[in-house]
């Protein structure tokens, strides 16, 4: 209902470039041209974390990840219009753009697409109150519809954490250490998958650790955008 009203009230123009959207695309917020400008993250990459770096020996970006954190993949590089789109999802008050972001993520190759669950990374209470929604949950629901997989709100924040972006890599780990726990302490299903938007790094590893400790067999992460300067920690 709210989406229908929003569609009536908003002009059918691309949120990023203001071009008029075709009737076919009127449920979207981003036009074809802008979507095609998003630069996909492509192989060759580290098979585990999906970071396309020239690798000498073992990948250092994912070396500290908990063992059950099996794979991470991102759809596009977080730059230009892709970064603007994420900004709209997080701060623009238009969570409907999750549909556009999820469309770019549909082809991501992670295990469990026929059996896994999607688990959003929860927001801290203060941020949830300010924003009115959890962007990770909106993205998971949009992607879950495309993948035909259920979204289960398994994770809880045990405490609010400071914004990660202002912190050094070492401080990021300390900032989110123990920040998540699994509802009822048990996953119940031995086959969990965890999606998230961004940033990729300490937050996802900590969420994976909580799912791991609760008995998930493996955890994979999918994000829409990946920072051009990696912020894995």
Q: How far apart (Å, rounded) are the C-alpha atoms in residues 218 and 117?
A: 11
Q: How far apart (Å, rounded) are the C-alpha atoms in residues 10 and 3?
A: 10
| Out of 21, 29, 62, 88, the residue judged to bind Zn ion by CB under 5 A | 62
List b or e across 85-121, with b for residues whose CB sees 16 or more CB atoms inside 10 angstroms.
Answer: bbebbbeeeebbbbbbbbbbbeebebebeeebbbbbb
- Give the residue among 149, 154, 151 at the shortest CA–CA distance from 115: 149
Q: How far apart (Å, rounded) are the C-alpha atoms in residues 17 and 30?
A: 8
Give the length of the chain: 233
Considering beta carbons, is residue 53 or 170 the nearer one to Zn ion? 53
Residue 187 as a binder of Zn ion (CB under 5 A): the answer is no
Closest approach of Cβ 15 to Zn ion, in Å?
Answer: 7
8 A C-beta contact, residue 54 and residue 200: no
Q: Which is it for the CA torsion 213, 216, 219, 222, positive or negative?
A: negative
Closest approach of Cβ 53 to Zn ion, in Å?
Answer: 8
**Residue 35, both tokens:** 């979507």
Closest approach of Cβ 137 to Zn ion, in Å?
Answer: 26
Residue 14 as a binder of Zn ion (CB under 5 A): the answer is yes
Residue 85 as a binder of Zn ion (CB under 5 A): the answer is no
Considering beta carbons, is residue 16 or 182 the nearer one to Zn ion? 16
- Choose one: 4-12, 44-52, 147-155, 162-170; the region binding Zn ion (CB under 5 A): 44-52
Considering beta carbons, is residue 79 or 133 the nearer one to Zn ion? 79
8 A C-beta contact, residue 227 and residue 52: no
Considering beta carbons, is residue 16 or 204 the nearer one to Zn ion? 16
8 A C-beta contact, residue 31 and residue 24: no
| Out of 46, 82, 139, 143, the residue judged to bind Zn ion by CB under 5 A | 46
Residue 67 as a binder of Zn ion (CB under 5 A): the answer is no
Q: How far apart (Å, rounded) are the C-alpha atoms in residues 226 and 224?
A: 7
| Out of 7, 10, 17, 115, the residue judged to bind Zn ion by CB under 5 A | 17
- Choose one: 55-63, 104-112, 172-180, 220-228; the region binding Zn ion (CB under 5 A): 55-63
- Choose one: 9-17, 69-77, 129-137, 149-157; the region binding Zn ion (CB under 5 A): 9-17
Residue 72 as a binder of Zn ion (CB under 5 A): the answer is no
Which residues here bind Zn ion, judged by CB under 5 A?
14, 16-17, 19, 31, 34, 46, 48-49, 59, 61-62
């Amino acid at each position: 209902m709210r989406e229908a009203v929003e569609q009536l009230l908003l002009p059918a123009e691309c949120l990023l470039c203001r071009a008029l959207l075709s009737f076919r695309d009127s449920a979207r917020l981003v036009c074809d041209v802008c979507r095609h400008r998003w630069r996909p993250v492509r192989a060759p990459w580290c098979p585990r974390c999906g970071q396309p770096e020239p690798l000498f020996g073992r990948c250092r970006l994912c070396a500290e990840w908990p063992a059950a954190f099996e794979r991470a993949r991102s759809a596009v590089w977080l730059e230009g219009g892709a970064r603007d789109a994420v900004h709209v999802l997080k701060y623009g008050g238009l969570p409907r753009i999750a549909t556009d972001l999820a469309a770019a993520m549909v082809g991501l190759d992670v295990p469990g697409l026929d059996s896994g669950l999607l688990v959003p990374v929860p927001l801290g209470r203060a941020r949830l109150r300010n924003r009115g929604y959890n962007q990770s949950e909106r993205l998971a629901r949009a992607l879950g519809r495309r993948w035909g997989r259920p979204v289960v709100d398994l994770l809880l924040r045990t405490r609010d954490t400071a914004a990660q972006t202002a912190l050094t890599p070492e401080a990021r780990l300390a900032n989110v250490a123990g920040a998540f726990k699994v509802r009822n302490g048990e996953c119940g299903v031995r086959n969990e998958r965890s999606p998230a938007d961004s940033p990729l790094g300490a937050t996802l590893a900590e969420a994976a650790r909580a799912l791991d400790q609760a008995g998930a067999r493996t955890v994979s992460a999918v994000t829409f955008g990946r920072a051009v300067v990696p912020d894995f920690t």
